[in-house]
């Protein structure tokens, strides 16, 4: 009997040690273990024994039932000893979080981070903070540094109530910047607080660009639409019985609808290009026949503008890696612009230089028109940017041609350069990298 009790006691002792280790380890695994099949079966065993005794079914029945349940419990799935030991070792070797200092933690944060005390005085700034706010250092009073009312209010509330708070904050000097700033207490003591600045400037810039783009596109569409609507009204009213006026107005309406269609085509081209800005063009394209094809297509426009287009493309193939359709769009835009805006020069020249960009190919489109004042040149590829809006509209321009050219060339790893002397014409040069393979 004693030996049996000792054995049982020994077993219990082992179980207790195991449970204690689990508690020291992870509470969650303890819960899982308590719910494991073995515990459920053990409970069932006790239940059956009790019922058997109660019903006086006999000691023998109770023993048989208990043995059967024990056998099942013994074979119930359990984690291997090695697994449990490995888990315990990993747990024991993991360094406690306390050894990470506040400085190390702050340095690992990529956003500007400031730690301050209950007086609002800075006690630590991380590297990103030193870069973003050079004047902010240990000892600086935050309410004196950030005088904007929303910052003052947030600091005061954080210090008074110890509640985490966030606000939008912007600075105009030295450049306009937007931040989402949050202030939170560290721990429960109310002695230290942390402030983090999330820079939102880029997101705001993109939002603004998108809003400007939509406003510009809507404006460009609304102008011809308003004109068409006005003429419809006139045709139904005062000009109802005037065939000459009707003919003239219908002509204007047609021009306006063509303009709207061009604008929509250009907008769709841009959005298609934006969806695939980094696709590598797989085709090999010979620029010689491609440019000659574009020149043929533009001959009517050139004649209408009184311009002669001359090309010196040489006899060798001009092979670049590219998408044929997109490259046609590039040279259509450049030649069309040269004919439209350089018409007073009477001559547009296309030439090729193979020496450019480490054996790549440079193709230039040169006109002898009024040229482009220097200050406009860097902005020509912006959407809807025109040197003179009325001239562009008069030439059925949308202000999107060169933006499309730039997008296509970026996708081709090529680039555009513009040179011009006012009064002497303009040269648009496309620099293609060598076609590899």
Residues in the site for ligand ADP, rule: CB under 6 A? 333, 337-338, 341-342, 367, 369, 372, 380, 386-388, 392, 397-403, 426
CB of 277 to ligand ADP, least distance (A): 18
CB of 334 to ligand ADP, least distance (A): 8
Q: Which is nearer to ligand ADP, 329 or 392 (CB)?
A: 392
Three state DSSP letters for the chain: CHHHHHHHHHHHHHHHHHHHHHHHCCHHHHHHHHCCHHHHHHHHHHHHHHHHHHCCCCHHHHHHHHHHHHHHHHHCCCCCHHHHHHHHHHHHHCCCHHHCCHHHHHHHCCCCEEEEECCCEEEEECHHHHHHCCCCCCCCEHHHHCCCHHHHHHHHHHHHHCCCEEEEEEECCCCCEEEEEEEEEECCCCCEEEEEEEECHHHHHHHHHHHHHHHHHHHHHHHHHHHHHHHHHHHHCCCCCCHHHHHHHHHHHHHHHHHHHHHHHHHHHHHHHHHCCCCCCCCEEEHHHHHHHHHHHHHHHHHHHCCEEEEECCCCCCEEECCHHHHHHHHHHHHHHHHHHCHHHCEEEEEEECCHHHHCEEEEEEECCCCCCHHHHHHCCCCCCCCCHHHHHHCCCCCCHHHHHHHHHHHCCCEEEEEECCCCCEEEEEEECCCCC
Instruction: In angstroms, give the least distance from the CB of 366 to ligand ADP.
Output: 9
The nearest distance, CB 364 to ligand ADP, in angstroms, is 12
> Closer to ligand ADP at the Cβ: 295 or 426?
426
**CA-atom Rg of the chain in angstroms:** 39
Residue 216 C-beta: closest distance to ligand ADP, Å? 12
Reading the block at residue 19, the tokens are: 């449970």
Instruction: Give least dist CB 430 to ligand ADP, A.
Output: 13
Name which of 227 and 398 has its Cβ closer to ligand ADP. 398
Q: Minimum Å distance from CB 328 to ligand ADP?
A: 15
CB of 295 to ligand ADP, least distance (A): 16
C-beta of 133 vs 384, nearer to ligand ADP: 384
**Residue with smaller CB distance to ligand ADP, 7 or 373:** 373
Give the number of other CB atoms < 10 A from CB of residue 432: 24
Comparison of 179 and 428: residue with beta carbon closer to ligand ADP: 428
Is 294 or 372 the residue whose CB approaches ligand ADP more closely? 372
State in angstroms the smallest separation of the CB of 417 from ligand ADP.
13
Q: What strands lie across the sheet with 347-353, from one edge to the other? A: 308-312, 347-353, 361-367, 426-432, 415-420
Nearer to ligand ADP, 126 or 381 (CB): 381
CA-CA distance, 55 to 47, in Å (whole number)?
Answer: 12
Q: Six-digit token pair at 186?
A: 């560290």
Distance CA 319, CA 277 (A): 22
User: And the tokens for 103?
Assistant: 């400085």
Distance of closest approach, residue 370 Cβ to ligand ADP, in angstroms: 6
Q: Is 185 or 401 the residue whose CB approaches ligand ADP more closely?
A: 401
Beta carbon of residue 373, minimum distance to ligand ADP (angstroms, whole number): 9
Which is closer to ligand ADP, CB of 117 or CB of 382? Answer: 382
Comparing CB distances to ligand ADP, the nearer of 183 and 307 is 307
- For residue 306, what are the contacts with CB-CB under 8 A and spacing of at least 6? 343, 346
């Amino acid at each position: 009997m004693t030996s049996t009790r000792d054995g049982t006691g020994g077993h219990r002792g082992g179980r207790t040690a195991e449970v204690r280790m689990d508690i020291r380890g992870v509470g969650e695994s303890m819960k899982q273990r308590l719910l494991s099949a073995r515990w459920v079966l053990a409970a069932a065993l006790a239940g059956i024994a009790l019922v058997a005794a109660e019903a006086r079914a006999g000691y023998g029945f109770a023993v048989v039932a208990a043995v059967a349940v024990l056998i099942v419990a013994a074979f119930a799935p359990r984690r291997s000893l090695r697994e449990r030991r490995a888990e315990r070792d990993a747990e024991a070797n993991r360094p406690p979080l306390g050894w990470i200092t506040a400085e190390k933690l702050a340095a690992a944060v990529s956003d500007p981070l400031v730690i301050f005390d209950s007086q609002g005085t800075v006690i630590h700034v991380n590297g990103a903070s030193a870069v973003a706010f050079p004047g902010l250092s240990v000892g600086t009073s935050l309410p004196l540094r950030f005088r904007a009312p929303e910052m003052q209010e947030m600091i005061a509330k954080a210090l008074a109530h110890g509640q985490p708070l966030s606000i939008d904050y912007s600075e105009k000097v030295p450049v306009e910047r937007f931040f989402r700033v949050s202030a939170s207490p560290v721990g429960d003591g109310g002695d230290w607080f942390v402030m983090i600045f999330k820079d939102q400037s880029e997101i705001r810039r993109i939002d603004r660009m998108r809003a400007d783009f939509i406003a510009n596109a809507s404006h460009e569409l609304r102008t011809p639409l308003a004109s068409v609507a006005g003429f419809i009204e006139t045709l139904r009213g005062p000009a109802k019985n005037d065939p000459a006026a009707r003919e003239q107005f219908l002509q204007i309406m047609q021009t306006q609808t063509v303009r709207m269609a061009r604008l929509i085509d250009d907008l769709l081209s841009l959005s298609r290009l934006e969806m695939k800005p980094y696709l590598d063009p797989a085709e090999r394209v010979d620029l010689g026949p491609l440019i000659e094809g574009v020149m043929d297509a533009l001959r009517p426009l050139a004649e209408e503008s009184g311009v002669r287009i001359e090309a010196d493309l040489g006899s060798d193939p001009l092979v670049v890696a590219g998408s044929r359709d997109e490259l046609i769009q590039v040279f259509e835009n450049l030649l069309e612009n040269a004919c439209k805006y350089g018409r007073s020069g009477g001559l547009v020249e296309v030439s090729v230089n193979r020496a450019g960009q480490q054996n790549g190919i440079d193709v230039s489109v040169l006109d002898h028109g009024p040229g482009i004042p220097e200050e406009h040149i860097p902005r020509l590829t912006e959407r809807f940017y025109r040197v003179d809006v009325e001239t562009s509209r008069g030439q059925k321009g949308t202000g999107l041609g060169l933006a499309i050219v730039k997008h296509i060339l970026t996708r081709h790893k090529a680039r555009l350069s513009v040179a011009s002397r006012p009064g002497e014409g303009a040269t648009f040069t496309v620099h293609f990298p060598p076609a590899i393979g």
